[in-house]
Amino acid sequence: MKPKPSAAYVGVSSFEQNTEAQETALREYVQRRGWILHKIYRNEGISGTKANRPALDELLRDSRR
């Protein structure tokens, strides 16, 4: 079976935080399933309550293609 391409989205609401733990968990998840991680989309310092989150917007645009 051909490996599935995948993407991941991570985000933190302040610049004092980082996405490292999220990325590690998602990379392990993808690897266990035998998928190929195409790209990680990151928002740092942007609250999840904001309507405009650039990396999430990019992920949604890319997934529509």
Task: Tell me which amino acid residue 18 is.
Answer: N
Q: What is the rounded average pLDDT of the residues 5-30? A: 93
Q: What is the rounded average pLDDT of the residues 28-57? A: 90
Instruction: Give residues with Cβ within 8 angstroms of 12, minimum separation 6.
Output: 18, 19, 22, 43, 44, 45
Tell me what pLDDT residue 29 has.
97
**CATH class held by domain 5-64:** alpha beta
Confidence band, pLDDT 50/70/90 cuts, at residue 15:
confident
Global confidence as pTM:
0.83
Tell me what pLDDT residue 34 has.
94
Query: Which sequence spans correspond to the domains of the chain?
Result: 5-64
Task: Tell me which amino acid residue 13 is.
Answer: S
Give the C-alpha separation, 13 to 6, whole Å.
24
